[in-house]
Amino acid sequence: MPRHGKKYLVAKERLDSTERHGFEEGISRALEASFAKFDETLDLAVRLGVDPRHADQMVRGSVVLPHGTGRQVRVLAFAQGEKAKEAEEAGAEHVGAEDLIKQIQEGWLDFDKAVATPDMMGQVGKLGKILGPRGMMPNAKVGTVTFDIGRAVSELKAGRVEFRVDKAGVVHVPLGKVSFGVAKLQANMISFLETINRLRPPTTKGTYVRSLAVSTTMGPGVKLDPNQVREMSKA
């Protein structure tokens, strides 16, 4: 069992672990419980009523958070010709083709996200074993394999986050920095939850969003009321 420091334990004692809070109150409590000297990230964990072992119940996608994540994202674009120029103009830090593929094969990974045009994927596929486990492999399902590469780069720079349900049926996503304040973090969370609702698999039965909680990087978790998500889906 991991041991937590005194500051964490003090913060946790102030919270009722059985209480479910509304979005605004829950985020506020999580921010109040933060104690690190750096600007922590507020993370959201959502447990879904799906079985990821079945392909038709896999929940995966991306969302552009209205206020971004507060993180500087270094984007690499696999593209040639006019599409390479388009990626550069959109702000990609690294743009290329075979040259970048070779560098990555040799161990270079000085970037956070990668995008590619569809015509490049035959060559980029060689990097699957390197980029796949790191969550950096371009994928059409989350919009990082596209001929509209300028838009893909711009969205990643602006705060688009990718997510995928894990084996336990939980989706994790960063909502932004503590310094954003409650209003911006709540707006980001609602945008994400609306996307999750839209991605509900047709084969899912019973309660879809079963529980959710927010926590800062170093702080304890604060449970939120899943009924609010269900009300959103009805609206």
Q: What domains sit in the chain, N to C, each tagged with a CATH number?
A: 6-68+160-234 (3.30.190.20), 75-158 (3.40.50.790)
| Tokens linked to 221 | 């978790």
Of 160 and 106, which is predicted with more confidence? 106
Can you name the residues that pair with 172 across neighbouring β-strands? 45
Q: How far apart are CA 94 and CA 42, in angstroms?
A: 29
Least reliable range by pLDDT among 12-26, 52-66, 96-110: 12-26
Of 76 and 19, which is predicted with more confidence? 76
Least reliable range by pLDDT among 5-19, 192-206, 218-232: 5-19
Q: What is the pLDDT of residue 7?
A: 74
The pTM (predicted TM-score) of the whole model is 0.80
Nearest alpha-carbon partner for 16 in 211, 216, 217, 222 = 222
Mean pLDDT score of the chain, rounded to an integer?
A: 91
Sign of CA dihedral 42, 48, 51, 57: negative
If one counts every other C-beta atom within 10 angstroms of the C-beta of residue 91, the result is 16
Q: How far apart are CA 100 and CA 174, in angstroms?
A: 29
